[in-house]
Chain A
Amino acid sequence: MSDMKKNTSEEAALGRLLAQATRPTLPPGFAERMRDKLDHQPTAQVIAFPRKAAVGGPRANPWLIGAPLAASLLIGISLGALGMGNLTGTTEISEADEIVIGSGLEEAEDAAQTDT
């Protein structure tokens, strides 16, 4: 018998044996038990968080905020145009000191010399 024929007959034989396997049946009263479990399910609790009031609120009139800002901008521009922008009183520009950034190398060399 060829391998193919043997496999086919074995497959058929296995099929016959598997057909004998127990076919489970639903246990009586399953639907009632399912309903009972469903009845005891906790209902979803939705907790509503209090909504935070938005800054400026949707009812706030945007012109009340915008108008002073616009006016301030206009005053700044006009003062600048009139040369009255510098309110510190001095017009001299003082020279900045030379900035010395210490690397620490010199201090390290000094320390090494004192040690010796």
Chain B
Amino acid sequence: MVAMALHLFSKAQSSATDDGGLMAALAARDAAAFETLMQRHYEVVYRVVWRMMHGHADSEDVTQEAFLRLWRNPSQLREASALRGWLIRVASNIVADRHRGLVPAPQDMPEDVIDDTPIADEELERKRIARRVDIAISRLPDRQRLALSLVQFENMGQAAAAEIMEISVDALESLLARAKRALKQDLAAEWRDMLEGLAE
């Protein structure tokens, strides 16, 4: 009996703290619920936006805008379980809108990638490779970069990533294949050097 009561209690607690319960609270303008949702999803959304924007300083601004849209009108989201995907979709749409106005040069990498402090050769080599890979990723078309970010860097399943991008799994696979082909071509000249650098 006690075990059943405890089970029901924990179930009630988890339903209050899962995205569905928090979304219900958010609809009643509960700032604490928003805070919890933000802590839960902000980082993933930020990382995706960061890649989409080539690490531009506006990444934070775009991420915040996506969350503010949720705050302003939580009823836009029909299924609370799809919250993370919805936030990523909104954020990537904001990025696409901004890119229509101004496309940052692929070489515009973030300051935190360029570090001038003296470091060991091995570390320096890794940083150089990271920077080169970042640049190659930033040269991909928006949709290919988003697909790669979701699947490769956020470890999402293809079905989940396809749902976020509102495309079929086949279309997502096609985007991923083209992205990888483009990366291989872009890095072809330094391919062997970089792999040797990693092996050392």
Contacts and interface: CB of A to CB of B under 8 A. Distances in A.
Interface of A: 10-11, 13-14, 16-18, 20-24, 26-27, 30-31, 33-35, 37-38, 41
A26 B46 contact: yes
B86 interface: no
Given A30-B60, A31-B38, A41-B68, A21 B195 contact: no
B65 to A, nearest CB: 9
Contacts of B131: 22
Interface of B: 31, 34-35, 38-39, 42-43, 46-47, 50-51, 55, 59-60, 64, 67-68, 71-72, 110, 112-113, 126, 129-131, 133-134, 137, 148, 152-153, 180, 183-184, 187, 191, 194-195, 198
Given A13-B191, A30-B60, A34-B38, A21 B137 contact: yes
A18 B148 CA distance: 10
A37 B55 contact: no
Given A31-B38, A37-B64, A17 B129 contact: yes
A24 B68 CA distance: 22
Given A22-B112, A31-B38, 14 more contacts: A10-B184, A13-B191, A14-B184, A17-B187, A18-B133, A20-B126, A20-B129, A21-B153, A23-B153, A24-B59, A24-B110, A26-B42, A34-B64, A41-B72
A48 B198 CA distance: 66
Contact of A23 (B34, B35, B47, B59): B47
Contacts of B112: 22, 24
A44 B75 CA distance: 14
A21 B130 contact: yes
Nearest to B43: A26
B42 A30 contact: yes
B133 to A, nearest CB: 5
A6 to B, nearest CB: 11
B54 to A, nearest CB: 11
